[in-house]
């Protein structure tokens, strides 16, 4: 088999395009320029647009009046590779083991977006034209909350006008099972900093008479849940749209559930809010998670110190019926009320994004289902929501007025954001076939 497409994917994966790391700014820019060139080689016109952050790459075919316009969105930025010592092979040296590509970004999102580009390249080679007008928009800031993309959409609203958006940046419930995602959770980030004494103190000389900031952080973080695992912040879940019966029934039948979740995560038992299955907790219930916790001595051995400050980095995942700003207001009021005297509490709000749901049975949704079935040879299709967030999807709806189809290619054990991220070669080729089928199916939809 001709593996030119695969070798180009490896080149894509070699760029350490870590958007959060200022030291990688040059690599992110190089990656954008390289991607634009790949689009040109595929037969599209392409432009790299600078933003106050990382560039946006936009590719297009020559539009034909009367054809529907499909926008394919993805991201070329990746998460940091830490902890780098836990990688079996270097994160930016793609390596194939047992038919699986290991590299940072292999799944999230370079492998998936590049499968679309290579699908387009293959169609253009075979037929000389695409069945739709295509816009490919690939950004470099998804992993840091797309801080500049909304302004970009506003500025280019006219030229980004489209009938539907397609994204492959979500999961499949099991290998070979075509999966259409019709909902994503929203997100709201907040950092909590507790400041106590003006300097680090000897914990023997002062311990007992001074409030310890690390203890306060622990108390505040622990207060976010009750003893059974429900979020304890008052009104947090008010307005949450309940699951529909068909969703609960369909999810209970999926070839993915508690056993697979235990296996993939390596935990001895699952935990969470009472009254919901694990999939329901992940896909349709909000969470309050600690993403990082720190303060005090982190070195080897012991050190008797009361740290002058401590912190926690929190994110809340949100579901339909919840608004990120309101959730941060509620969390802030709750944490401030519970913070004891003797320390100062600083709350810093981070990125946020609204949840998203779309009807999977619309004409476009059906076209997406047909394309998935074609690409995955007729296997039973799974209709799911997902726990992750792609905040810009809701912004697309608000700014461009268009719905998004989420056709994921990531497997449950893809290790996105973690060491040894991976993507099967097979899924890359399935993604190319999916792109070809999807554009054909969408060309038949009456918009
Ligand atoms: N591809 C993910 C989102 C995702 C993962 C959706 C799994 C569905 C299933 C995306 O790249 C991502 O990681 N998004 C961040 C968004 C955040 C940084 C604003 C996330 O969900 O943490
Ligand atoms: Zn990601």
Which residue ranges in the chain fall short of pLDDT 50? none
End position of a domain, from candidates 353, 368, 392: 353
| Best CA proximity match to 388, nearest among 114, 140, 142, 28 | 142
**Is the domain of 93 the same as that of 220?**
no
Distance CA 301, CA 270 (A): 33
Atom of ligand 1 minimally distant from the CA of 75: 11
The three-state DSSP-derived secondary structure of 133-192 is EEEEEEECCHHHCCCCHHHHHHHCCCCCCCCEEEECCCECCCCCCCEEEEEECEEEEEEE
Query: Which atom of ligand 1 is closest in space to residue 187's alpha carbon?
Result: 19
For the entire predicted model, the pTM comes to 0.94
Instruction: Note whether residue 268 is domain-resident.
Output: no
Domain boundary among 334, 353, 372: 353
Instruction: Quote the pLDDT of residue 2.
Output: 76
pLDDT for res 379: 86
Q: Which atom of ligand 1 is nearest to the CA of 353?
A: 19
Gyration radius of the chain's alpha carbons: 23
At which residue do the structure tokens 């840091």 appear?
A: 144
Could you give the strand order of the β-sheet that contains 344-353, starting from the edge strand earlier in sequence?
Answer: 287-295, 309-318, 186-195, 344-353
Is residue 11 located within the same domain as residue 159? yes
The CATH number linked to 204 is 3.30.70.360
Residue 17's CB is within 10 A of a number of other CB atoms, namely 29
- Domain final position from 299, 331, 353: 353
Q: How far is the CA of 156 from the centre of ligand 2 (A)?
A: 25
Using the mean position of ligand 2's atoms as its centre, give its distance from the Cα of residue 411 in Å: 13
Q: Is residue 272 part of a domain?
A: no
From ligand 2's centre to the CA of 155, what distance in Å?
25
To test the pocket of ligand 1, the residue of 142, 167, 387 to mutate (highest count of ligand atoms within 8 Å of its CB) is: 142
The closest residue, in CA terms, to atom 15 on ligand 1 is 389
Domain assignment present for 274: no
Tell the residue nearest (CA) to atom 1 of ligand 1: 169
* Residue ranges making up the domain that contains 418: 3-184+355-443
Give yes or no: residues 218 and 122 share one domain.
no
Structure tokens at 253: 């039948």
Q: Is 312 helix (H, G, I), strand (E, B) or coil?
A: strand
Count of structural domains, the chain: 2
Residues in contact with ligand 1 by the CB-under-6-Å rule are 108-109, 142-143, 145, 169-171, 184, 187, 351, 353, 386, 388-391
Q: Which CATH number belongs to the domain containing residue 132 in this structure?
A: 3.40.630.10
Residue 11 CB-half CA count within 13 A: 14
Number of other residues whose CB lies within 10 A of the CB of residue 33: 14
Predicted confidence at residue 129, as pLDDT, reads: 98
- Could you tell me which residues come within 8 angstroms of residue 427 by beta carbon, excluding any fewer than 6 positions away? 111, 115, 172, 409, 411
Give yes or no: residues 361 and 311 share one domain: no
């Amino acid at each position: 088999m001709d593996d030119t497409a695969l070798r180009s994917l490896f080149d894509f994966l070699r760029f350490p395009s870590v958007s959060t790391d200022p030291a990688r700014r040059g690599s992110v820019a190089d990656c954008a320029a390289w991607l634009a060139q790949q689009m040109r080689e595929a037969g599209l016109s392409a432009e790299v647009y600078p933003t106050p952050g990382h560039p946006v790459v936009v590719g297009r075919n020559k539009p034909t009046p009367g054809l529907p316009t499909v926008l394919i969105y993805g991201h070329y930025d990746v998460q940091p590779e830490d902890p780098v010592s836990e990688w079996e092979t270097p994160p930016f040296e793609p390596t194939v083991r047992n038919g699986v590509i290991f590299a940072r970004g292999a799944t999230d999102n370079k492998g998936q977006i590049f499968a679309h580009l290579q699908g387009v390249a293959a169609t253009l080679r075979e037929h000389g034209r695409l069945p739709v007008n295509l816009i490919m928009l690939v950004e470099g800031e998804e992993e840091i909350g797309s801080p500049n993309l909304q302004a970009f959409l506003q500025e280019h609203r006219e030229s980004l006008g489209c009938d539907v958006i397609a994204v492959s940046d979500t999961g499949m419930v099991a290998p070979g099972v075509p999966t259409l995602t019709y909902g994503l959770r929203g997100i709201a980030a907040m950092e909590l900093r507790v400041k106590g004494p003006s300097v680090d103190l000897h914990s023997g000389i002062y311990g007992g008479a001074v409030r310890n900031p690390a203890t306060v952080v622990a108390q505040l973080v622990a207060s976010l849940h009750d003893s059974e695992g429900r979020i304890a912040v008052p009104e947090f879940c008010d307005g949450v749209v309940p699951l529909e019966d068909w969703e609960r029934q369909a999810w209970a039948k999926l070839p993915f559930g508690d056993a697979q979740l235990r296996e993939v995560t390596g935990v001895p038992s699952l935990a969470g809010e009472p009254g919901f299955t694990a999939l329901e907790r992940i896909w349709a219930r909000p969470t309050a998670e600690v993403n990082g916790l720190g303060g005090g001595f982190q070195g080897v051995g012991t050190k008797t110190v009361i740290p002058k400050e401590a912190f926690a980095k929190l994110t809340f995942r949100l579901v339909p019926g919840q608004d990120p700003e309101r959730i941060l207001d509620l969390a802030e009021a709750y944490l401030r009320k519970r913070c004891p005297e003797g320390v100062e509490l600083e709350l810093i709000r981070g990125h946020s994004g609204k949840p998203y749901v779309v009807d999977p049975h619309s004409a476009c949704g059906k076209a997406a289902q047909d394309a998935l079935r074609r690409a995955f040879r007729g296997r039973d299709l799974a209709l799911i929501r997902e726990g992750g967030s792609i905040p810009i999807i809701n912004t697309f709806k608000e700014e461009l007025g268009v719905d998004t189809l989420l056709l994921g290619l990531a497997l449950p054990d893809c290790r996105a954001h973690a060491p040894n991220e991976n993507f099967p070669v097979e899924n890359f080729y399935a993604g190319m076939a999916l792109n070809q089928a999807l554009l054909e199916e969408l060309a038949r939809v009456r918009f």
